Amino acid sequence: MKMTFRWYGDNDPVTLEKISQIPMMTGIVSAVYDKAPGQVWSCESIEAIKKKAEAHGLEFEVVESVPVHEEIKLGGPKAKEYIENYCENVRRLGKAGVKCICYNFMPVFDWLRSELEHQHPDGCNSLAYDEQTVLSMDPLTSELSLPGWDESYSKDELKSLILRYKEIGEEQLWENLSVFLKAVIPVAEEAGIRMAIHPDDPPWGIFGLPRIITNTTNLRRFLKIVDSPANGLTFCTGSLGASTDNDLVKMAAEFAPRIAFLHLRNIKITGYRQFMEVGHPTECGSLDMKGIVRALLDNGFDGYVRPDHGRMIWGEKGRYGYGLFDRALGAAYITGLFEGLEK
Ligand code: DNO
């Protein structure tokens, strides 16, 4: 396994120097942020990230994310063009030495929470989700915005997008995913890249939009669409673990060889479709972190790992979920878990 850390580029208050000082850190997880989703990334921008990372003794082998344009997910008239752009990005990243690309196939919204600063008794705060709160907001009428919403859409664009998805439903989304994979995976194979789809977070449909990367049955179906090591998974414990129907230890064991990227974080389930993010160790939440890592190691996992969302502790303010302190503690904990279980 290789321990990595997400870096949001030059504007990220968590600098490369700080990242490089975390024990056992091998590289960063980053992306080109100067282009809109669907566009081809310039080789200069890709190389610039690599150079900056290397200047701090860090590798740049993982990209999160190359976003999938909504037209691709919708199978719209411009899907073909955007898929070609996507393939070009895969080629360019491969040439720059990238080995793994994380992406998702969630309609309209990426990860979604109802609260950004859920207060804990010890004075820290974290992201939290409560289905009742989410359901009480209708994105078509509400003026509110939830974390995970793409703020680049106007209200009207958002509305027409949501209506288009309502027409296509789950099966058509699978079909569109299949068209995408059949075009992109052969290019990834050639480029020496493992594609790693991120599960839907939370792993169930919201606002009547279809979500399909959610559970064991669907992950099996996904992996069969193109049965290649290059068609892999991001195993995000906090995303899949939000559904109590998902047995993460079993899933880790079954999918280990196809997991290219591992996002480790713990959540505490506080009710039906209600959870908050907590510190990484097993005892802090509802997920068996040690059991998950053991299942992965016993079944041939060999991929990249990063600590996922941290709480805001020690008075830190920053990008929600992506402060330095708690993610660094998470990295140290995860390194210890692997060390203990591998030896
Ligand atoms: C949230 C992240 C996701 C992830 C994308 C991958 O913190 O895990 O936003 O990067 O879903 O495409």
pLDDT, one tens digit per residue, over 82-125 is: 999 999 999 999 999 999 999 999 999 899 999 999 999 999 99
In this prediction, residue 158 has a pLDDT band, given cuts at 50, 70 and 90, of confident
In this prediction, residue 159 has a pLDDT band, given cuts at 50, 70 and 90, of confident
The two structure tokens encoding residue 46: 């890709």
CA distances for 200 relative to 97, 138, 184, 204, 237, angstroms: 27, 19, 20, 7, 11
**Of the listed 103, 304, 322, 333, which one is catalytic?**
322
Higher pLDDT, 159 or 321: 321
In the 3-class helix/strand/coil scheme, how is 81-150 assigned residue by residue?
Answer: HHHHHHHHHHHHHHHCCCCEEEEECCCCCCCCCCEEEEECCCCCEEEEEEHHHHHCCCCCCCCCCCCCCC
Domain-located, residue 71: yes
Domain-located, residue 173: yes
Cβ neighbour number for residue 328 with a 10 Å cutoff: 20
Residue 224 CB burial class (10 angstroms; 0-12, 13-18, ≥19) = exposed
- The rounded Å distance from CA 35 to ligand 1 centre is 17
**Catalytic-residue membership of 308:** yes
State the residue for tokens 């680049």.
152
CB contact at 8 A, 230 and 194: yes
Domain-located, residue 97: yes
The two structure tokens encoding residue 155: 């209200």
CB contact at 8 A, 332 and 306: no
The two structure tokens encoding residue 326: 């708690």
Angle at CA 331, nearest 5°, toward 301 and 247?
A: 50
Amino acid at residue number 8: Y
**Catalytic-residue membership of 236:** yes
What is the distance in angstroms between the CA of the first residue and the CA of the last residue of the chain?
Answer: 13
Domain-located, residue 162: no
Number of domains in the chain: 1
Domain-located, residue 123: no
**Catalytic-residue membership of 120:** no
State the residue for tokens 């990243």.
93
In this prediction, residue 333 has a pLDDT band, given cuts at 50, 70 and 90, of very high
Give the residues surrounding ligand 1 with Cβ less than 6 Å away.
Answer: 64-65, 102-104, 110-111, 198, 263, 309, 321
Residue 48 CB burial class (10 angstroms; 0-12, 13-18, ≥19) = middle
**Of the listed 69, 118, 280, 309, which one is catalytic?**
309
The arithmetic mean of pLDDT across residues 70-80, rounded, is 96
Which pLDDT belongs to residue 155? Answer: 78
Whether the pLDDT of residue 145 is over 70: the answer is no
Closest C-alpha to ligand 1, atom 2: 111
**Catalytic-residue membership of 198:** yes
Q: Over the chain, what is the mean pLDDT?
A: 95
Coil, strand, or helix at residue 174?
helix
| Model confidence, pTM | 0.97
Coil, strand, or helix at residue 204?
coil
Domain-located, residue 140: no
Q: What is the CATH number of the domain that holds 91?
A: 3.20.20.150
Which pLDDT belongs to residue 156? Answer: 83
254-313 pLDDT tens trace = 999 999 999 999 999 999 999 999 999 999 999 999 999 999 999 999 999 999 999 999
Higher pLDDT, 208 or 202: 202
- 291's enclosing H/E stretch is helix 289-298
Q: How many residues belong to the chain?
A: 343
Whether the pLDDT of residue 217 is over 70: the answer is yes
**Of the listed 12, 198, 320, 326, which one is catalytic?**
198
Instruction: Give the integer Cα–Cα distance in Å for 320 and 311.
Output: 8
The arithmetic mean of pLDDT across residues 125-145, rounded, is 83
In this prediction, residue 144 has a pLDDT band, given cuts at 50, 70 and 90, of low
Phi, psi of 115 (to 5 degrees): -145, 135
- The rounded Å distance from CA 225 to ligand 1 centre is 22
Cβ neighbour number for residue 249 with a 10 Å cutoff: 16
Coil, strand, or helix at residue 198?
strand
- The rounded Å distance from CA 140 to ligand 1 centre is 23
CB contact at 8 A, 118 and 127: yes
CB contact at 8 A, 166 and 209: yes
Q: What percent of the chain has pLDDT over 70?
A: 97
Amino acid at residue number 44: E
Instruction: Give the integer Cα–Cα distance in Å for 110 and 152.
Output: 13
Whether the pLDDT of residue 143 is over 80: the answer is no
Domain-located, residue 153: no
Ligand 1, from 66, 72, 111, 267: best to mutate by most atoms within 8 Å of Cβ?
111
Enclosing domain of residue 48? 2-110+169-310+317-342
Beta partners for 278?
266
Whether the pLDDT of residue 137 is over 90: the answer is no
Domain-located, residue 298: yes
* DSSP letter assigned to residue 258: G
The arithmetic mean of pLDDT across residues 32-51, rounded, is 97
In this prediction, residue 148 has a pLDDT band, given cuts at 50, 70 and 90, of low
Q: Give the list of residues 6+ apart from residue 314 with CB closer than 8 angstroms, or none.
A: 325
Coil, strand, or helix at residue 171?
helix
Which pLDDT belongs to residue 94? Answer: 98
